[in-house]
Amino acid sequence: MSKPYEPKDIEKKWQETWEKEGAFCVGTDRSKPKYYVLLEFPYPSGQGLHVGHPRPYTAMDIIARKRRMQGYNVLFPMGWDAFGLPTENYAIQNKIHPKIVTENNVKHFKEQLKALGYSFDWDREINTTDPAYYKWTQWIFLKLFEKGLAYKSEMPINWCTSCKVGLANEEVVNGVCERCGGEVVRRVKSQWMLKITEYAEKLIEGLDDVDYVEKVKVSQKNWIGRSVGAEVDFVISGKEDKLRIFTTRPDTLFGATYMVISPEHPLIDKYRSDLKNWDEIVAYREMAARKSDFERTELVKEKTGVVLEGLTAVNPVNGKEIPIWISDYVLMSYGTGAIMAVPAHDERDWDFAKKFHLPIIEVVAGGDVEQAAFTDVASGKLVNSGFLDGLEVAEAKKKITEWLAEQGIGKQKVNYKLRDWVFSRQRYWGEPIPLVQCEKCGFVPIPESELPLMLPEVESYMPTDNGESPLAAMTDWVNTTCPCCGGPAKRETDTMPQWAGSSWYFLRYTDPNNKEAFASKEALDYWMPVDWYNGGMEHTTLHLLYSRFWHKFLYDLGLVSTPEPYQKRTSHGMIMGENNEKMSKSRGNVVNPDDIVNEFGADSLRTYEMFIGAFELSAAWSNEGVRGCRRFLERVWKLRDMLTEEEGYSAALETKVHQVIKKVSLDFEGLKFNTAIAAMMGLVNEFYRVGSVARGEFRTLLLLLNPVAPHITEELWELAGYEGRAYMQEWPVYEEAKTIEEETEIAVQLNGKVRATIKVGIKEEQDSVREKVMELEAVKKAAEGKNIVKEIYVKGRIYNIVVK
């Protein structure tokens, strides 16, 4: 009898062996095809890993290990996205420098990851808080600044009252702070912004050339929110200025019965002296300004507004004079901050018109505009619209847009919902923005030779209520000289957001120690793009979009060789607690992987995480489920007692083995690990049923299972006396012809209901199958006294007889 399976000993032994042998360091042989497997590097939090982390990690480890066995030169790196608020908060509470906190957390994470046996190339480990790394984050920022894509702007931002920090639009969820759930209010602050909007079109177009799961593409497109319409200038009666609006429905121009501008629209102040109800207007503006984002979304529906008495506009198509209103349902930050209102064909305008008794004119027939706005653009023809009458909506759009252009009062225009990226954080633990402000020269980049601009050592990292970064209190550091004129200057004291470091980290992995560049051209040319990137859906409109933006920018500068950073993007589902609720400390349902490794072993944990269910869907944790996977590995372990000398496959199981190789090979590629493992379990069950395993069969099983459970398979490989190491072997191949059974069981149906099963040859023709079918008692009985109307034979599946 063989010795018992002791994962603790085995796993430690092989982890040490792999490290000693440099098993997973990237090879230098560049004649091999490359494969770059990437997963989202973690934020090293104080809590350490939870069982959610290993799911995507194990999946990608399987892909990386399989690719190596398939002969690829594989890059499968790991690092730390370590700047961020939780570390800073922990540092404040415990009076430990965030650098030390980060070091400790990284150490803990790394131990945990190593205990799971991942095949990362640890020689390429990176850390976004390392000055040698953030030097290049700052460098890229300076390039953005140089090209005019980074600018400082006085603007209302989302201010988290609890974190005391400005947030990007993407970080505000349901009107509250994504991280802490604190209230978010509008606050006008001077902020660094990145012009991601300049890349809106490219970010959409680029999606056509990459292999992302469809829902990621859809989310990004929706977030960018492209819409095609027209800009139209309306004359303001008796004034020089025109009121420019954006609309996606220029075809309804004849139905515009009033206009609405945003409360913040500059025209209001400009024509203050013309406005007879100024007090009322001011009161409304103040009310609108006081609302936080939360309140604005909270209050929805009921429309409010004030008419501007003393100013009117002229509808350019019919010369009619129409009133101008202000209302907070028109946003200054989208389009031109002004709209033409067509209540008959827009729900919001309809609500507003009903409330304030404004005229509703139908211009597209097909609905009842007294009852509701008619917004269907697919049906309906234009009416009450002069030269547009009788046209379909699409035709009318085209014709009116041409007409507007001829008249010089409008043109086609594309707008995006995407806003520029608020890039300043009033915090300590982030990359310093490498600029100084000089009274004479304005903002001046610090010279490249002075990069990295190091974070200074400070006494207190406490955020302040006045909205200044803790760095602002460091006068020694803040006061400096202008690199341009040598005069006195102040350093920028805001730092970069957490998303900065992760916007280009995949480039650094290709050449992590380069001191001359963020990565050499040669390394980038060889490794990029990332062949397969897996990550969470929650990053779709944040990290994933940001990093595509940075990469496209670098591409336009000729600094990277591919227009898109990631060729393929997949997503994993969350691991839920045993009660099927999200795992969290407060719910008390968090499972620590260390405990699972101790009780069952890393291989059991890895196998279970892959067996738990469809990879892209969420799944509830079950300790009993882990036990089942452990049981499976035990059964594999004991197969060694059943080995025969046969180096090939036994006649009895040859077909089965080929089928399983095929199934596992294909399922791994489709991230269908659960069914791949089920197939291997089935094969093991077959071995037990037969009572023996040929050495060749065992060999194949170990190789198929190796990416999932690398330790036990490596140990068994050695114990069974096969040559070399399992992880170095070639991936098993199958012969298509040998996956097909000679004989198979098919169902015999009568009117679609199964009445019997018979064995037939796989290639057997209908005539010969028919003979067997007609002899069946069930068929004879059913056919008696009835007509056979039709017979359908699907090879290897069914034989269906239709009787009447």
Residues 398-437 binding RNA (CB under 7 A) are: 415, 417
Q: Which of these ranges, 129-137, 156-164, 385-393, 606-614, lies near RNA under the rule CB under 7 A?
A: 606-614
Judged by CB under 7 A, the residue of 300, 378, 651, 737 near RNA is 300
The answer for residues whose C-beta is within 8 angstroms of residue 483's C-beta and 6 or more apart is 436, 444, 445, 446, 447, 450
Q: Identify which of residues 481 and 579 has a Cβ nearer to RNA in the complex.
A: 579
Query: Is residue 290 involved in binding RNA (CB under 7 A)?
Result: no
Q: Identify which of residues 117 and 250 has a Cβ nearer to RNA in the complex.
A: 250
Judged by CB under 7 A, the residue of 179, 303, 491, 539 near RNA is 303
Helix ranges (H only) for 543-592 are 543-556
Query: Is residue 248 involved in binding RNA (CB under 7 A)?
Result: yes
Query: Is residue 110 involved in binding RNA (CB under 7 A)?
Result: no
Q: Which residues pair with 575 in a beta bridge?
A: 619
CB of 707 to RNA, least distance (A): 17
At residue 445, the 3 state secondary structure works out as strand
Indicate the residue type of 661. Answer: I
| Cα 237–chain centre separation | 49
Q: Identify which of residues 132 and 576 has a Cβ nearer to RNA in the complex.
A: 576
Residue identified by tokens 């083995």 is: 657
Q: Identify which of residues 214 and 784 has a Cβ nearer to RNA in the complex.
A: 214
CB of 714 to RNA, least distance (A): 22
Q: Which of these ranges, 143-151, 488-496, 500-508, 792-800, lies near RNA under the rule CB under 7 A?
A: 792-800
Q: Which of residues 694-753 bind RNA (CB under 7 A)?
A: 744-747, 749, 751-753
Q: Which of these ranges, 26-34, 59-67, 544-552, 629-637, lies near RNA under the rule CB under 7 A?
A: 629-637
Judged by CB under 7 A, the residue of 86, 229, 316, 410 near RNA is 229
Query: Is residue 225 involved in binding RNA (CB under 7 A)?
Result: yes
CA gap 520, 511 in Å, rounded: 7
Nearest partner of 171 among 186, 156, 187, 160, judged by Cα:
160
CA gap 802, 804 in Å, rounded: 7
Q: Which of these ranges, 42-50, 68-76, 137-145, 298-306, lies near RNA under the rule CB under 7 A?
A: 298-306
CB of 340 to RNA, least distance (A): 7
Judged by CB under 7 A, the residue of 337, 343, 430, 470 near RNA is 337
Query: Is residue 227 involved in binding RNA (CB under 7 A)?
Result: yes
Task: Please report, to the nearest 10 degrees, the dihedral formed by the alpha carbons of residues 640, 642, 646, 652 taken in order.
Answer: -130
Q: Which of these ranges, 272-280, 326-334, 367-375, 391-399, lies near RNA under the rule CB under 7 A?
A: 326-334
Residue 21's CB: how many other CB atoms inside 10 A?
A: 12
Q: Which of these ranges, 96-104, 233-241, 308-316, 609-617, lies near RNA under the rule CB under 7 A?
A: 609-617
Pair type for strands 410-416 and 321-326: unpaired
CA gap 780, 750 in Å, rounded: 11
Q: Identify which of residues 618 and 729 has a Cβ nearer to RNA in the complex.
A: 618
Q: In what order do the strands lie in the sheet with 442-445?
A: 442-445, 435-438, 488-491, 479-481
Q: Identify which of residues 107 and 797 has a Cβ nearer to RNA in the complex.
A: 797
Judged by CB under 7 A, the residue of 289, 372, 652, 794 near RNA is 794
Judged by CB under 7 A, the residue of 42, 77, 470, 625 near RNA is 625
Residue identified by tokens 């009107």 is: 175
DSSP tag of 682: H
Number of residues interacting with RNA: please give it, by CB under 7 A.
86
Query: Is residue 202 involved in binding RNA (CB under 7 A)?
Result: no
* Contact flags string 435-454 toward RNA, x per CB under 7 A: --------------------
CA gap 38, 51 in Å, rounded: 19
Q: Which of residues 339-368 bind RNA (CB under 7 A)?
A: 339, 346, 348
CA gap 541, 539 in Å, rounded: 6
CB of 464 to RNA, least distance (A): 29
CA gap 51, 62 in Å, rounded: 17
User: How long, in residues, is the chain?
Assistant: 804
Query: Is residue 335 involved in binding RNA (CB under 7 A)?
Result: yes
CB of 585 to RNA, least distance (A): 17
Lookup: tokens for 603? 């291989």
Q: Identify which of residues 428 and 673 has a Cβ nearer to RNA in the complex.
A: 673
At residue 319, the 3 state secondary structure works out as coil
Q: Identify which of residues 218 and 462 has a Cβ nearer to RNA in the complex.
A: 218
Judged by CB under 7 A, the residue of 108, 143, 296, 640 near RNA is 296
Query: Is residue 672 involved in binding RNA (CB under 7 A)?
Result: yes
CB of 221 to RNA, least distance (A): 9
> Helix 673-690 crosses helix 695-705 at what angle (to 10 degrees)?
160
Q: Identify which of residues 223 and 526 has a Cβ nearer to RNA in the complex.
A: 223
Q: Identify which of residues 103 and 686 has a Cβ nearer to RNA in the complex.
A: 686
Q: Which residues pair with 444 in a beta bridge?
A: 436
The answer to whether 322 and 349 have CB atoms below 8 angstroms apart is: no
Q: Identify which of residues 13 and 296 has a Cβ nearer to RNA in the complex.
A: 296
Lookup: tokens for 389? 């009458």
Query: Is residue 692 involved in binding RNA (CB under 7 A)?
Result: no
The answer for residues whose C-beta is within 8 angstroms of residue 274's C-beta and 6 or more apart is 310, 311
**Cα-only R_g, the chain:** 34
CA gap 14, 113 in Å, rounded: 14
CB of 170 to RNA, least distance (A): 7
CB of 45 to RNA, least distance (A): 19
At residue 286, the 3 state secondary structure works out as helix
Q: Identify which of residues 163 and 338 has a Cβ nearer to RNA in the complex.
A: 338
Residue identified by tokens 């046996």 is: 117
Query: Is residue 655 involved in binding RNA (CB under 7 A)?
Result: no
Q: Which of residues 131-170 bind RNA (CB under 7 A)?
A: 169
Judged by CB under 7 A, the residue of 126, 168, 330, 400 near RNA is 330
Query: Is residue 569 involved in binding RNA (CB under 7 A)?
Result: no
CA gap 659, 680 in Å, rounded: 10
> Helix 602-611 crosses helix 54-69 at what angle (to 10 degrees)?
100
Q: Which of these ranges, 277-285, 296-304, 388-396, 643-651, lies near RNA under the rule CB under 7 A?
A: 296-304
Judged by CB under 7 A, the residue of 102, 128, 247, 571 near RNA is 247
First-to-last CA distance in the chain? Answer: 64
Residue 407's CB: how many other CB atoms inside 10 A?
A: 12
The answer to whether 273 and 363 have CB atoms below 8 angstroms apart is: no
